């Protein structure tokens, strides 16, 4: 714990900004300067935790050079690459602020708007998270990313019964105390932001969305379309299964049972007293999935103390 000038314990800041940094040597200093300038001009006390995720360039050296120049900046260096999700989880665990901000160091997000997002959350006691919803998509593979993200977002909306303007925005502010039970669920990669959104929505925490601009990134993208899209889809299904497995499994079970009933009726008309193997398989598969859904739901309710 830091000490004040009189030797007493320094009061914690109200805002903690977690900034993952991986191979951002050409612009990481500009990003730190931009964030600090916006926060210095605001009404909020803050700390900026810049975490170098074992960069292979001079990112850590640049951060160490400017760390003494900014009193609110704390630089942490990882010994090996843990991924953006690991950085954000550890940064949030170490945060001292009531409000935690996640953003990126690649110049894509309007980090000068961080004080506005914090104010939006602080002024609304009913909300637990405010997400910067991007107005447009940038980056590589745009023609593939846009429809893929739209489809995954619609699946997430269907499974959570909530409209989600931006499922995986990297700029957001949330109440630290509310997030703590969900940090252990964060995967190490990019889908950590999706995980936090779904965790909040699945547990009836109010999430607000504020439109923001989104710019072309500086440097090289770390996003791999096929690998990360696959993990993204799996994480959406995993999170909904974790909180509400009936949403995923029961519709499939009912469809199979319904088709089995229709197939059974058709079989009885075509050849009475004879039930083909495929009809039996439809029934059995539907019953097994329905049983798994009920068992998973029981486990979820037991875990939540319901």
- Domain match, 254 and 227 both: no
Q: Are residues 168 and 264 in the same domain?
A: no
List the structure tokens of 88: 């954000």
Q: Can you tell me the distance from the alpha carbon of 178 to that of 130, in angstroms, rounded to the nearest whole number?
A: 13
Same domain membership, residue 233 and residue 141: yes
CA geometry: angle 180, 186, 191, nearest 5 deg: 135
Dist CA 274 CA 93 (whole Å): 62
Q: Cα(167)–Cα(183) distance, rounded to whole angstroms?
A: 17
Specify whether 127 is located in the same domain as 249.
no
Same domain, 211 and 149: yes
68-72, 138-142, 286-290: segment of lowest average pLDDT: 138-142
Q: Is the pLDDT of residue 279 over 50?
A: yes
Q: Evaluate whether residue 5 is within a structural domain.
A: no
Same domain, 127 and 215: yes
Residues 144 and 252 in one domain: no
> pLDDT > 70: what percent of the chain?
89
Nearest partner of 117 among 183, 203, 208, judged by Cα:
208
Q: Are residues 213 and 261 in the same domain?
A: no
Q: Which domain holds residue 83?
A: 15-243
- Residue-wise pLDDT for 14-35, tens only, equals 999 999 999 999 999 999 999 9
What mean pLDDT, rounded, does the chain reach?
Answer: 88
Query: Of 39-43, 142-146, 278-282, which range is least confident?
Result: 142-146
| Strand partners for 48 | 17, 73
Q: 3-state class of 240 per DSSP?
A: helix
Q: Are 153 and 298 within one domain? A: no
Same domain, 251 and 237: no
State the total domains in the chain: 2
Residue 189 pLDDT grade (very low, low, confident, very high; cuts 50, 70, 90): confident
Q: Do residue 222 and residue 288 come from a single domain? A: no
Distance CA 145, CA 28 (A): 26
Question: The whole model's pTM is what?
Answer: 0.81
């Amino acid at each position: 714990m830091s000490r004040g000038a009189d030797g007493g314990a320094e009061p914690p800041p109200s805002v903690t900004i977690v900034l993952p940094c991986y191979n951002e040597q050409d612009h990481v200093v500009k990003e730190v300067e931009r964030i600090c300038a916006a926060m210095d001009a605001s009404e909020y006390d803050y700390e900026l935790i810049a975490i170098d995720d074992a960069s292979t360039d001079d990112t850590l050296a640049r951060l160490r050079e400017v760390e003494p120049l900014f009193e609110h900046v704390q630089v942490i260096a990882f010994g090996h690459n843990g991924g953006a999700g690991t950085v954000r989880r550890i940064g949030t665990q170490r945060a001292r602020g009531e409000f935690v901000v996640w953003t990126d160091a690649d110049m894509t997000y309007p980090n000068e708007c961080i004080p506005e997002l914090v104010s939006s959350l602080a002024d609304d006691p009913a909300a637990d998270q405010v997400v910067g919803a991007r107005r447009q998509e940038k980056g590589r593979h745009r023609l593939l990313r846009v429809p893929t993200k739209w489809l995954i977002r619609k699946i997430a909306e269907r499974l959570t019964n909530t409209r989600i303007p931006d499922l995986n925005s990297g700029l957001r502010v949330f109440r630290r105390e509310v997030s703590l039970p969900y940090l252990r669920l964060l995967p190490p990669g990019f889908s950590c932001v999706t995980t936090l959104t779904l965790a909040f929505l699945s547990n009836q925490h109010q999430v607000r969305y504020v439109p923001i601009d989104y710019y072309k990134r500086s440097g090289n993208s770390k996003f791999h379309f096929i690998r990360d899209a696959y993990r993204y889809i799996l994480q959406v299904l995993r999170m909904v299964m974790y909180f509400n497995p009936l949403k995923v499994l029961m519709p499939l079970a009912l469809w199979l049972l319904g088709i089995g009933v229709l197939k059974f009726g058709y079989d009885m008309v075509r050849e009475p007293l004879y039930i083909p193997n495929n009809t039996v398989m439809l029934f059995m598969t539907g019953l097994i999935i329905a049983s798994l859904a009920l068992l998973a739901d029981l486990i979820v309710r037991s875990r939540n103390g319901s």
